[in-house]
Every structure is written in structure tokens, then in C-alpha cells.
Structure 1
Amino acid sequence: MKRAFTDGGEYQAKIAPRSIDWLASHEEEGQSYREWLDSDPNLPGQGRRKLYILPLGDFDGTAPDLGKLQRYAEAYFYPMKVGLLPKEPDSAVKARSRVNRMSGKKQWNSRDILGWLPRQLPADGYAMLAVTMTDLFPDENWNFVFGQASIKNRVGIFSFARYHPSWSGGMVDENTEKLVLRRAAKILTHEMGHMFGIRHCIYHECNMNGANHLEEADSTPMHLCPVCLRKLQRASRGDPAARYARLAVFYGVNGLDEEKEWVEDREGEIRSAK
């Protein structure tokens, strides 16, 4: 298993940020594995080991497939189980709303939703992420926010609204569905990763990198670097090789060939090192 947490040249070091990128405007010192342990993260325990996805509001034809996202999360956080809860209608969401002056579209206040979500977490739930096609804003001074999470309460909310090219008048083609799935899968697992107390990564190009904009988020990989993977393995108690095998199946079924090849290589290296 040790091979899973060492870098044999498979991982790219974090590239220097451009002026518009996350690390150019956010001073982050990183979080080593030891620092993560010392932070006393709230880890899954007896009777509280399930992850949940809670859909909020209306979902149209531009939304990612929630069933696929559930299956992806179960592979990513193996051996933890992931439940897809019944959709909550707009009227049930306890949050202020406004119409964005630039897009002309409805937004919900993400901080309000974070305050409402802990009461929706099932008793056997370790953590829960709400997902929506409604755009979000954290306060009146912000144009929008992709999502927010509360590590203490193990809940989060994020919006898929801006992930489809049609949001900004972009072209839609045969690759759009795959693009939206990749974006949604990355943000789902990134935000769920924060539930385990994992901070943003500054060591490698990693799914736990911070992102200021969609182009930067698109440039990050779907995989975890060895530092962040070691944290997740300690929290989930999973076998990294078995995890990679399950991810390879998902990537293969959904045409994510580059990701499939990458995880198959990692699985082979871990198994050969035993």
C-alpha cells in the first residue's frame, strides 16, 4: 500500500499560478498528512459512515446525470456507500433568493442553505452535499459562487448551473455531456473531500486544488495527489488498488479514456509492489 502514497514521477508538481488563478489571490500554506492528523479531523465512525447527495430544486436537460455521480462517488470514496436522496422542491429550500443583475437568472444564498442543511443530514450520514441547478451567491457583494461547505457540520452546497456551455452561450456538441459529467464529478468529490478535513492542495496538480474560475477548474485532474490520497485512505479505510479498479470501470463505461488509463497504471503499480 505504501506505493500508493509515493510519487514516482506520475504526479505533476503544482504549476505557478497566473494572476487570475486561486493561489494568486489566496495565501495557502498547504496541509501535510501530519498536519491533517494533528487537526483531529472528524472521521467516519460506527453507524455514521454513509455519504449523501441531496438534489435541490428543478433539474433540466443541461444537468449532469445524478445516478452517474452517485456511482462515481461510491468508487471515489470506496468503501464508503453513497446515497442519493429524494429531490427537495424549490419551496422547501430555506434560503433568500435574488435575480442576478448580470445573468438575469435566479440565485440562492449559499450561506442560508448551509445553515439549513445540517437538519437534513440522515442519522447514518457522515456527510452530505446538496446539488442544484440554481445559481448561488454568498452575500450581496458577490456576483456568484460555485459552492460552499461547512467542514464542522459536514455539509455543503454547490451548483451545476454554470457547468454547461449553454450558460454562457457556448457551443453544444457530442462532447458536451462528457464535459459536464467531468466537471460535476470533479467538484462533487472536491467538496466532499473537504468534509474529511482535507484542505486545498498546493503540492501537486490535484483534485483538491483551489480554483477561481471554470478554466482553472477544468485544468485540474480528477485524481488525488499522494498526499491527499493518504488522508482519504486513512479516513475511509479503503484499499487504494481496489479503489482505482472501481474508478477504472466508471471511466471506461463513460468514455473518460485518459482517466481510465491513469488509474489502471496506478492500480498495476500498487499491486506489483506488494
Structure 2
Amino acid sequence: MNFSFRLSLPLALLSCGAAYAVFTTPTKQGLEQAVGPLSGLDAKTRRAFTDAGEFQAKKYPGVLDWLTQHEEKGQTYGQYLASRANLPDASRRKLYILPIGTFEKGLAPDLELLRSYTAAFYHPLEVVLLPAVPDKEVPAQERINTMSAKKQWKSTDILGWLPKKLPADGYAMLAVTMTDLYPDENWNFVFGQASLRRRVGVFSFARYHPGWAGEKPGAATGTLVLRRAAKVLTHEMGHMFGIQHCIHYECNMNGANHLDEADATPMELCPVCLRKLHHAIRFDPVTRYEKLQRFHEANGLEAESQWIKTRLTAIKAAK
């Protein structure tokens, strides 16, 4: 089974004697090669995959960051095409979100807002929010985490159950929960786990609210939780389309080992990953960005809203 992990490593594994991965920051030529040739595309689509200074090349990682702990070769647009990813077809064109367990108001992100954001991100595919599965019906082993003293579900149990819940017209489904997860007894926790072959995954938002670490919520807490949850949902759904972690730009598809690293990643896709998604679902770049901009503006994501406005102006002016 092919798994994609989004995790936080136990600090015991990060000893001074650990073997770290070697990462080389990308060159301008390397970035252009990763996007691939753009001839033959119409002007607006070509501009959507062009970096004219709007994007930042992938920075050198810190000692605890993903690319220090994980050696990844990356995936160019050409390599993505060669991978022949399992893509949506006429009979499987819906994305499903399955809530499991309890979602306490004030701690949990708004699930309808997440559905709306995912629908804009993956336009023109339809995104459906399924009815929540009660705690007692989740077929997963439970334990109490010795560090947090909070309940956890075993993620592999949920992962084995999810393919049976995927509707026939579903291309992919992600289960989301406010219950913390762990993959086996040797792990403290895992943010989530997915089977790319079966196109299902489960991800926890439990640690995304500052209250998890004992911090008091503030005026910006709701926006912070929404931003974090929206990022992880769209990132992990991206893997379902065969898009691997990005090592070219600062991008939604960057791997992340911890919340600080995840918070630093953008909500949007870089030109390389955007082109991969375009191949998978054939969106109109202007329409997609317009939908995302409206969402950001309506939900207090001001920096993201302004960035897309600037990007839209450039794309619309392309000739």
C-alpha cells in the first residue's frame, strides 16, 4: 500500500548523530525546467505557469524541517506526466470530505468553509461534505497519549475502513477529525495518513488550535485555524492526484514536519504544481483564481486575497 505521511518526528530521532538529507536550493534554470516548455498554450494559461517574481524559490531548510529529515528528489512537470497518475474521469469527478467524531465550535474549523475553499481550489470538481460519523461508530483502536493525556485513534485502522465509505462517483475522499491520531505504538502522534492507490486519507485538526498547547485564543485564532486546516486539506488532496512534495518553490505542496514550518508555507500552488493540477482537472486559471480570491476576501485572509488580485491582473493582461 502506498502511504503519504504528514508527520511530526519525535525529538528523540533528531539526535546530533542523525544523518541529515542534503538539499540544494533550485536555480532559475532549474525552476524553468521543472515547469516545462510553455509553447502551444494560450497567453493566459501560459502566464499562469510563469513566475515573474510572484513566487519564492524553495528556501534552505532548518535542522528540524522536512527536507532536512527527508531526502526527496522532487517531481518536475515532465516527470508528473510520465508517472501516468490515476486521474478523475467521467464517472469519478467528486471529492468527498468525511467528518468523523465531534467538532466542537470554537475549537474546530468551520467544515462548510473548508468545503467551499476546497471547491474553489479544485474547481471545476464538485466537493461534497458528508454527514459526520459519530465517535462510537469510528472503527479504530483508542489510546490515551501519555504526553498530552488526550484520546487518540489509530490512523491505520481508519485508513483500512475508508475505501468502503468512498462513493462510486468519488475520485477521492479525506476523513477529517478533531481527535488526535497515531499510526502505531512507537509514535507520539501523526497529523495524518493516506493511501494514494485507494485515494483515501485521514487527517486530524486537533493540534491546529492554540488551545492544544495551552495558549489562550485571540482575535485571530479563528482565521489561524481556518488557514491551517485549509492548507492541510488541499495539500493532502493534491497527493491524491499524484502530485508529490514540491522542492522547487515555497508552495502548498511542500512537506512539513511541524506547525511552524506548515504555517510558513503558502496556501497557493507554485507554477510547477499548478501546471500538474491543470493537467489533472483542466481548470480555467482566471476562474479558479477568482473563486479563491473571493473566498480569501470574505474570510479575512487579506494577504492571500491581495496576492491573488495581483496575480489575476497579470494573467488577464497576458496577450
Superposed pair shares fold, TM > 0.5: yes
**Which residue does the alignment assign to 2:148?**
103
Aligned partners of 1:52 and 1:264: how far apart in 2? Answer: 29
Matched, 1:40 2:84: yes
Deviation at 1:271, TM superposition (A): 1.4
Matched, 1:149 2:190: no
Higher mean alpha-carbon deviation, 258-267 vs 25-34, is at 258-267
Aligned partners of 2:202 and 2:111: how far apart in 1? Answer: 15
Matched, 1:130 2:200: no
TM-score w.r.t. length of structure 1: 0.99
Q: 2:100 aligns with which of 49, 56, 60?
A: 56
The alignment partner of 1:217 has SS state of helix
Q: 1:228 aligns with which of 273, 278, 281?
A: 273
Can you list the C-alpha shifts for 1:143-172, whole angstroms capped at 9, x where unaligned?
001111111001111001000000011121
Can you list the C-alpha shifts for 1:182-201, whole angstroms capped at 9, x where unaligned?
00000000000001000000
Q: 1:84 aligns with which of 102, 114, 129?
A: 129
**Which residue does the alignment assign to 2:245?**
200
Let me know the Cα RMSD of the aligned residues: 0.7
Deviation at 1:129, TM superposition (A): 0.4
Question: 1:76, 1:189 within 8 Å by CA — same for their partners in 2?
Answer: yes
**Which residue does the alignment assign to 2:226?**
181
Aligned partners of 1:231 and 1:267: how far apart in 2? Answer: 19
Aligned partners of 2:82 and 2:187: how far apart in 1? Answer: 34
Can you list the C-alpha shifts for 1:120-162, whole angstroms capped at 9, x where unaligned?
0011100000000000011111100111111100111100100
Q: 1:6 aligns with which of 50, 67, 70?
A: 50
Aligned partners of 1:271 and 1:167: how far apart in 2? Answer: 43
Deviation at 1:50, TM superposition (A): 0.4
Deviation at 1:94, TM superposition (A): 1.5
**Which residue does the alignment assign to 1:250?**
295
Aligned partners of 1:271 and 1:248: how far apart in 2? Answer: 14
Aligned partners of 2:282 and 2:138: how far apart in 1? Answer: 34
Deviation at 1:266, TM superposition (A): 1.4
Percent identical residues:
64
Aligned partners of 2:194 and 2:308: how far apart in 1? Answer: 28
**Which residue does the alignment assign to 2:67?**
23
Amino acid at match of 2:159: L
The alignment partner of 2:148 has SS state of coil
Deviation at 1:42, TM superposition (A): 0.5
Kindly report structure 1 stretches of 4+ aligned residues shifted beyond 6 Å: none
Aligned partners of 1:96 and 1:34: how far apart in 2? Answer: 42
Question: 1:131, 1:158 within 8 Å by CA — same for their partners in 2?
Answer: yes
Q: Structure 1 regions of 5+ residues with no counterpart?
A: none
Aligned partners of 1:240 and 1:153: how far apart in 2? Answer: 28
Aligned partners of 1:125 and 1:55: how far apart in 2? Answer: 16
Aligned partners of 2:311 and 2:278: how far apart in 1? Answer: 15
The alignment partner of 1:158 has SS state of strand
Number of aligned residue pairs: give it: 274
Amino acid at match of 1:222: M
Amino acid at match of 2:247: I
**Which residue does the alignment assign to 1:67?**
112
Aligned partners of 1:109 and 1:197: how far apart in 2? Answer: 25
**Which residue does the alignment assign to 2:315?**
270
Amino acid at match of 2:238: G
Amino acid at match of 1:213: H
Q: Structure 2 regions of 5+ residues with no counterpart?
A: 1-44
Amino acid at match of 1:50: K
**Which residue does the alignment assign to 2:16?**
none
Question: 1:241, 1:266 within 8 Å by CA — same for their partners in 2?
Answer: no
Can you list the C-alpha shifts for 1:245-267, whole angstroms capped at 9, x where unaligned?
00000000001111001111112
TM-score w.r.t. length of structure 2: 0.85
Deviation at 1:90, TM superposition (A): 1.3
Amino acid at match of 2:51: D
Higher mean alpha-carbon deviation, 90-99 vs 13-22, is at 90-99
Higher mean alpha-carbon deviation, 263-272 vs 183-192, is at 263-272
